[in-house]
Amino acid sequence: MWKFCLELLCYLSFTVVIYVISCSSHNTDRYYQVQQLRLLFLNRGNATHDFSHIATIDEYWRWLKGSFIANLFPGDWYNGQSANDSNGFISDKTNRLIGWATMRQLRIRPDTCPIVNAVRNLIPHCFGSYTASNEEKRIFYPGWSINETTQNYSSSINEAFTYQTGDKLDTYIYVGDQATYRTGGYVYEFRGSLSDLHQDLTTLRELQWIDKQTRAVLIQLNLYTPNIPIFTSVVILVEILSSSGIVPTARFDPFDVNNFGSIFQITVAVIYLIFIVYFMIVEVYTFICLKKSYFRRVWSYIEIGIISCSWASVGVHIWQVKETSRVTSLFHQTHGNAYLNIQLLAYLNDLFSLLLAFCCFFVTLKILRLCRYSRRLAILSDTLSNATPELVSFSFMFAVIFMAFLVLFYLQFASFIWECSSLLLTAQMLFEMLLLKFNTSQITGAAPMLGPIYFSLFILFVVFVCMNMFVSIINDNFRKVRNHIHRMDHDDQDMFITLLKRIQHCCGSNDDSVNRVTFNTNSTVITVSEIVDPIQRLSNKLDKLMAYTNRHYNTKKIRIAWDDPTVPALSWLVKQK
């Protein structure tokens, strides 16, 4: 009993601690911050400058000149008064721009894909997709000329055609939808007045700074919101495909650099580390006792997951603290007027949140381990354990059928439906069809005859047959486990019920004055009159009962039950007047 109470208290305390640590670094202000910045920079719903609807390079240039650069300056107030006290802020006058924004281009070398001999005379050059091996790193003059031009341009225009390394730019690898982009590139800095930026963008467009060799353009800016306070890393990416398509995406990463600033948070973090050390000692002792059989238990891997993610989060947090100290020191020294890239801090914050999320996931699952003390609470694990052989056979059959439909839909609709453009998206679409939440109009439009046939076959074999088989397997095994529990389980074997009784006893709810009376239900001789008249038989039985209670229990209340397992216990109390 005491071992159970100690384990219950330990699990619940550790769960509360990890949830406090995870939730204390998140708040709803971040969500509203991201939504505001999306409306500000992306202009969703705007008829002429909607970033999400950009389909050509000309539309991208129009968005830059007509929307983006205007939001980099605070502008005037609604009454026309100049916002002199908002220098360095963006147009919402709430977020402080750290340094300046940058626009970095990644290019590929020419002739990076093979050309068919039949059309080699018509197409002299071919430009493939972006990879790290075919990235262009040469230094050019304005207009992507190898030879020096006689016309003079500003330093910002000349630097836009000069390749710079990631160490010089203080940039990091970025993962887009189509490729993973390296740290270097050709960079233009949004520095100067609004009119200067308009002039520079016009010049870059005339010089064809974005051309057929361009594969990605990343706009990066870093913001600080003193009212909350949080930092926000903004990356606006346009990926230009080798097939002439354009994929616009944007990412906004708000994070707090003072996650453990209060004494309460530090105290909770110390308690969390004590718990982790305790669990490590317990797991080492368990491994020594069980040896190889330790790895045959599912709960061992959950414990390992908790310990691994916890120590990894500690290491990431130490790294995050060092990087934060460096960034805040430079921010203080330069008064926020020098360029600082906080992209690494955003990555570390995402990794830290991911590790804490896995810790919360494993800790929550670990609470289910307490169900082994109660057969009724362990009915889920018992059902899955009992159904494992059947589920393995079903999983193999389901995987074969699902893979067949996956290949069928992918090969048939890869060129017509976005949800079928890759195997992963096709699998996601099929799972949505399992939930009957898919719009079939796209399939019908892509293949008016075969589309409905494919869809009907999928619903018939996967939804109607396979899903019903799965439900039947779970239902049959659940019924077996439930019947077994009803036959074998008793309240005296349930630790939770025993603990509840102990608590009731300590609180003064005592059942000492209640006596359980058991009557033998063996067959007895029944007279003919009792068979004919059941009421008379009941009256005789009640008379015998009252006589028995008067004789043995004059001053106590009693509870009556039958010892026959086929007869349920009576729920009433007979009390002596």
Q: Residue 347 belongs to what domain range?
A: 2-22+266-368
At 458, which CATH number? Answer: 1.10.287
Residue 453 lies in a domain: yes
What is the block-wise mean pLDDT of the chain (577 residues), using blocks of 10 residues? Answer: 70 87 80 89 79 90 90 80 77 88 93 78 83 91 86 89 90 90 93 91 93 93 87 93 88 83 84 91 90 86 91 92 86 81 89 91 82 68 85 92 93 88 90 84 87 90 90 90 68 57 65 46 49 66 75 56 45 40
Contact 228, 33 (CB under 8 A): yes
In a shared domain, residues 362 and 394: no
- How many domains in the chain? 4
> Around Cβ 359, how many Cβ atoms within 10 Å?
25
Contact 156, 188 (CB under 8 A): yes
Q: Looking at residue 567, what is its pLDDT?
A: 43
Separation of alpha carbons 270 and 471, rounded Å: 46
The CA-based diameter of the chain, rounded to the nearest angstrom, is 129
Separation of alpha carbons 294 and 284, rounded Å: 10
Residue 261 lies in a domain: no
Residue 505 lies in a domain: no
Residue 504 lies in a domain: no
In a shared domain, residues 222 and 277: no
Report the amino acid identity of residue 185: G
Contact 107, 213 (CB under 8 A): yes
In a shared domain, residues 362 and 323: yes
Q: Looking at residue 502, what is its pLDDT?
A: 67
pLDDT one-digit tens code per residue, 516-567 = 444 444 445 545 454 546 666 777 777 777 777 776 665 555 555 444 444 4
Alpha carbon of residue 23 to chain centroid: 14
In a shared domain, residues 306 and 335: yes
Residue 211 lies in a domain: yes
User: Could you tell me where the beta strands, DSSP code E, fall in 226-356?
Assistant: 230-240, 246-255
What is the distance in angstroms between the CA of the first residue and the CA of the last residue of the chain?
Answer: 39
Write down how long the chain is. 577
Residue 374 lies in a domain: no
Separation of alpha carbons 216 and 222, rounded Å: 20
In a shared domain, residues 535 and 412: no
Q: Looking at residue 491, what is its pLDDT?
A: 47
Q: Which pTM value belongs to this model? A: 0.74
Residue 92 lies in a domain: yes
Residue 497 lies in a domain: no
Q: Looking at residue 24, what is its pLDDT?
A: 78
Domain endpoint, select from 333, 368, 403: 368
